[in-house]
Amino acid sequence: MASSPKLEAELIDRLRRARLLLCTVESCTGGLLAHRLTEIAGASDVFWGGIVAYDNAAKETIVGVSAELLRNHGAVSPETARELARLAATKIAPREGWQAVGLSTTGIAGPSGGTPAKPVGLCHVGLALPRLSPVSREIRITPPLTRSENKERFANLALELLLEALSE
């Protein structure tokens, strides 16, 4: 599933109009969100930056996720996705009149690493918007696709979730 720059361009435009700065924290997408957004001219107006926190130790030390949350729910969980997004938003020091948004991905791209409870093709996307509790959305790609295709689908879900939230 190839990405369409139209989605990213629309997101950047909506973020700009809403005066929102975006920070991403990516695990299973490995920087794909940041890459896709920065392919669009003008992304620097609204994209503050991204963190790739692949290992749990990075999620703890760089992002600030508690070891207890990871122990109790695992890295691939709605709880972790929401916390990653919430913490992403706290990393931003917004410009005057702007607010912070956090977007996260955590999942299992494959082809290995899955379990019956958390199979390859599972991803949780977290979103933290100003003055709202963080939310998460799950995707399960069955049967799972290739690693690259799973990552693309995960990134699409994340960008679509953000666009949907900005449309409300």
Residue-wise pLDDT for 47-61, tens only, equals: 999 999 999 999 999
Q: Can you name the residues that pair with 126 across neighbouring β-strands?
A: 104, 136
Q: Given this model, what pLDDT does residue 3 score?
A: 56
How confident is residue 114, by pLDDT bands cut at 50, 70 and 90? very high
How confident is residue 5, by pLDDT bands cut at 50, 70 and 90? confident
Query: How deeply is 115 buried, as exposed, middle or buried, from its count of CB atoms within 10 A (0-12, 13-18, 19+)?
Result: exposed
Buried b (16+ CB within 10 A) or exposed e, 35-53: ebbbebeebeebbbebbbb
- DSSP symbol at 139: E
pLDDT greater than 50 at residue 1 = no
pLDDT greater than 60 at residue 137 = yes
**134 cis-preceded (ω within 30 degrees of 0):** no
Name residue 97's amino acid: G
Q: Given this model, what pLDDT does residue 94 score?
A: 78
Q: Given this model, what pLDDT does residue 144 score?
A: 86
Domain boundaries, the chain: 5-167
CATH number of 5-167: 3.90.950.20
Q: Given this model, what pLDDT does residue 143 score?
A: 92
Q: Which residues contact 63 (CB under 8 A, 6 or more apart)?
A: 25, 51, 53, 84, 87, 88
Direct distance between the N- and C-terminal alpha carbons of the chain, in angstroms, rounded to an integer? 26
Mean pLDDT of the chain: 95
Q: Given this model, what pLDDT does residue 93 score?
A: 79
